Amino acid sequence: MFYQGVLTKMETELAQPIQYYLVFETDFLNMNQLLNKTLHLKFVKYQCLHCGLNKEIYRQGFCKSCFFDIPQAADWIMRPELSTAHLDKEDRDLTYEKKVQLQPHIVYLANSSNVKVGVTRKSQVPTRWIDQGAHEAIEIVEVPNRYLAGITEVALKDHVADKTNWRTMLKNDIVDEDLVVWRERLKAYIPEEAQDYFIENNAETHLEFPVNQYPKNPKSLNIKKEGSYSGKLVGIKGQYLIFDDQTVFNVRANEGLVVEIGVD
């Protein structure tokens, strides 16, 4: 069986284990059903997720000219503290910015390789945690807009990490942490504007990934450079496909690439 389409990050469903779907224009693949099967990946061309042209992808699935132009790729996406829609101030497109920024946001702690702080729209819980490969996570603050979440994250970064180590996450060298204890410890560092939004009573969410075999020494596949790859799928964690020869493929980092996937 052959499938072809432009890569976008896998859709997920919170289940035990998590279900993963690769969605193409005309097909979708439940990746869990492909575990223990040999996959053949082939790079075909680029297809910018905004303009659709066959132009080299720059970042986040967009070609360079789209990346520097469209509101979906503005700086406040990666740096929420730069959000200005709550001040009625436009960055690239105020209508879009109001729609995305002026809605409930969550500041959370997630443990994928270490405990880290992060921000997401409330509607993206637990998707965001799944995408990061976190085995446990907890919401700590729920605020009405992206700016407040951003300044909270910035303040907490002095006391907890804000990055994950993808190798550690994939090797599953994990330590279980009591995130309720972390939440209480960090409470004192939440900025004044956000203190009223602290979440007092909630519990950790635990996530179970469909992995049969963790790689001891993960090697990242560069499909653009290699052109093609074949291997037996042995697991999925975060947005990574894990193969039996320790090759890993980050689907999200390859958004905007058109690939052909063959399944034996």
Residues that bind Zn ion (CB under 5 A): 48, 50-51, 63, 66
Looking at residue 208, the DSSP 8-state letter turns out to be -
Q: Which is nearer to Zn ion, 52 or 227 (CB)?
A: 52
Select 53 or 175, whichever has its Cβ closest to Zn ion.
Answer: 53
Long-range contacts of 72-76, Cβ-Cβ distance < 8 Å, separation of 24 or more? 72/96, 76/101, 76/146, 76/150
Our CB check for Zn ion shows the closer of 58 and 198 to be 58
In angstroms, give the least distance from the CB of 92 to Zn ion.
15
Measured from the CB atom, is 62 or 209 closer to Zn ion?
62
Cis preceding-peptide flag for 104 (omega within 30 of 0)? no
Other beta carbons within 10 angstroms of residue 215's beta carbon come to 22
Residue 9 contacts residue 22 (beta carbons within 8 Å) = no
- Sorted by sequence, the CB contacts under 8 Å of residue 192 that are 6+ apart come out as none
* Nearer of residues 231 and 256 to Zn ion, judged by Cβ: 256
Least separation in angstroms between CB 73 and Zn ion: 10
Nearest partner of 264 among 30, 14, 28, 34, judged by Cα:
34
Whole-angstrom distance, CA of residue 5 vs CA of residue 41: 11
Compare residues 56 and 226 and give the one whose CB is closer to Zn ion: 56
Tell me how far the alpha carbon of residue 164 is from its chain's centroid: 11
* Least Å from the CB of residue 133 to Zn ion: 28
